Amino acid sequence: MSNQQIRNIAIIAHVDHGKTTLVDQLLRQSGTFRENEKVTERVMDSNDIERERGITILAKNCAVSWKGTHINIVDTPGHADFGGEVERALSMVDGVVLLIDAVEGPMPQTRFVTKKALALGLKPIVVVNKVDRPGSRPDYVINAAFDLFDKLGATDEQLDFPVVYASGLNGWATLKEGTPGEKWGEDLAPLFDTVLQHVPAHAGDVAAPLQLQISSMDYSTYLGRIGVGRINEGTLKCPMDVVMMAGPDATPVKCRINNVMTFEGLERHQLQPGEEAYPGHIVLVSGIEDIALGVTITDPLNPKPLPMLKVDEPTLTMNFQVNASPLAGREGKFITSRQVRDRLERELQSNMALRVKDTDEEGVFEVSGRGELHLTILLENMRREGYELAVSKPRVVFKEEGGQRLEPIELLTVDLEEGHQGGVMQALGERKGDLVNMEPDGRGRVRLEYRIPARGLIGFQNEFLNLTRGTGLASNIFDGYEPYKGEIANRKNGVLISMDDGEIVTYALGKLEDRGRMFVKAGDPVYEGMIVGIHSRDNDLVVNAVRMKQLTNFRVSGKEDAIKITPPIMLTLEYAVEFIEDDELVEITPKSIRLRKRYLKEHERKRALREAA
């Protein structure tokens, strides 16, 4: 197959604008699946957490054939926290399909992914998705997209973008705007044809020395570490002697490629002896033990290494440490600091946006990432694999520049009903947010845009959902560094702390009912220093949650009062991480999430408080 018959595209968009659903339909309509084949929804979201949450975390590859052309498709995440995945994906493609929701229009992540694509010189195809939704406004979306491109410094060629109207869920696209409420197209052929017409074939020289940059990593128990990347120049065959270089100034390392695969649909096609892959092909290579992200696989006699891939720096950090609570080791398989360290080092091999550092404390690692979701997804994966650990409150990564302390600023967009506007604006004002734009949609909702310190967003999501009765939408994106904005108020309530070890007793819960809301239920194990609830006041309170009712040898006449207990607050990983303060930890095990004080004994907490003061 010549490189003229290959197209490489990435599908980029804000979260929930329909990327993965559209890829499903592209695979179906290109004949990838048999007619009688049963296919799950969002087939590209293969990870359990992706399926449960309905989000894409890892960029993934597939390929379709249309009119004799092989189209490699990279499905990318929409969340800002997984921007490292998007940046890597864009280094493999020659064009992007930018999906924008026909109701919401461009959102913060749309801006982020578009900025990256335009900076690489990629020409976008704008797909206005969900045009069959009530409240759809395609004209507004196209104008907003043009304004966004202009603000991001797009060239004249990039501003002259083709527009496709589509319904990814129902599997049709059209180049002409139709009548609201009606079906505008029959299938996705117009989108396929637009891709062939506007995405250029990769212009690499087949006869030049091999140049292949590794943009993604995979692992197989049979083949070991697998590198994924696009051939820029030259020809690749199997087996083949090559050199690996981590940038132009690195020392070439001799190695041998034993296995080469290309994508066909969702499957992988293995190259046989005599078969070759050409410029433009996205390939998987194995046999190189130390293969890593960003390295260039090139010709031993005439090496042409590319610069290493650059990824935005982390903005949030947390301490991961060994679980040292009295309940440690009951549920997990991996509980030692060595096992936690090995797991974090393994994650670094494929997670480009992550950083891990040792600290002065034994068994405590400083882990930095792009945001809360980025780090909590890693924690969720670890607990499912059988790890036990404790984590601290997230902290933002500050910078020192010119004698000034700089902190990360986020661009926050909130979409809410007008009746909830006052409470949300007050909450964001308290968190040092600056309102930069307010846009009512004329249908009872309003969109607010804020620039706010990243510190101010820690713990905001739960408060926002309460303030908007669950009807608000909030999304944020890193927007740069600015001078420190001053102190931000912490959690308003104190916590209820267990004074003893044992099991929670219904009688004790009844006695604590008026003290606040509980995190635990009857029968749950607790220990001294564990947080069992939220205090209704602003101070911490030590309570007896294992107190039994004193039994006597006689009974009084009359019916005893039934104990009425409010159901406990269910702890999710995100809520727990947002809730805790600096002197608290989240204990994470495969089956449980618990909150605890860093120092379990009351006299130790008092001493630490005196020392801090």
The span from the CA of 501 to the CA of 484, in Å, is 43
Is 130 assigned a ligand-binding role in the annotation? yes
Residue type for position 375: L
Is 538 assigned a ligand-binding role in the annotation? no
The span from the CA of 272 to the CA of 14, in Å, is 40
Tokens 């891709």 found at: 195
The span from the CA of 184 to the CA of 66, in Å, is 22
Is 21 assigned a ligand-binding role in the annotation? yes
Closest Cα to residue 63, out of 230, 285, 309, 234? 230
Residue type for position 519: F
Contact 208, 301 (CB under 8 A): no
Distances (CA, A) of 306 to 43, 247, 298, 303, 389: 33, 6, 9, 10, 39
Let me know if 308 is exposed, middle or buried by CB neighbors in 10 A (0-12, 13-18, 19+).
middle
Is 19 assigned a ligand-binding role in the annotation? yes
Cα Rg, the chain, nearest whole Å: 27
Distances (CA, A) of 244 to 58, 178, 291: 25, 53, 8
Is 131 assigned a ligand-binding role in the annotation? yes
Is 20 assigned a ligand-binding role in the annotation? yes
The span from the CA of 435 to the CA of 176, in Å, is 37
Is 126 assigned a ligand-binding role in the annotation? no
The span from the CA of 588 to the CA of 580, in Å, is 13
Strands 240-245 and 253-257: antiparallel
Which three-class secondary structure state does DSSP give residue 607?
A: helix
Contact 336, 323 (CB under 8 A): no
Contact 60, 76 (CB under 8 A): no
Residue by residue, DSSP assigns 444-497 as: SEEEEEEEEEGGGGTTHHHHHHHHTTT--EEEEEEEEEEE--------SS-EEE
Beta strands in 51-197 (DSSP E): 60-66, 69-75, 95-101, 124-129, 163-167, 172-174
Structure tokens at 533: 């609830």
Is 132 assigned a ligand-binding role in the annotation? yes
Q: Tell me the binding residues for GTP.
A: 16-21, 129-132
Q: Tell me the binding residues.
A: 16-21, 129-132
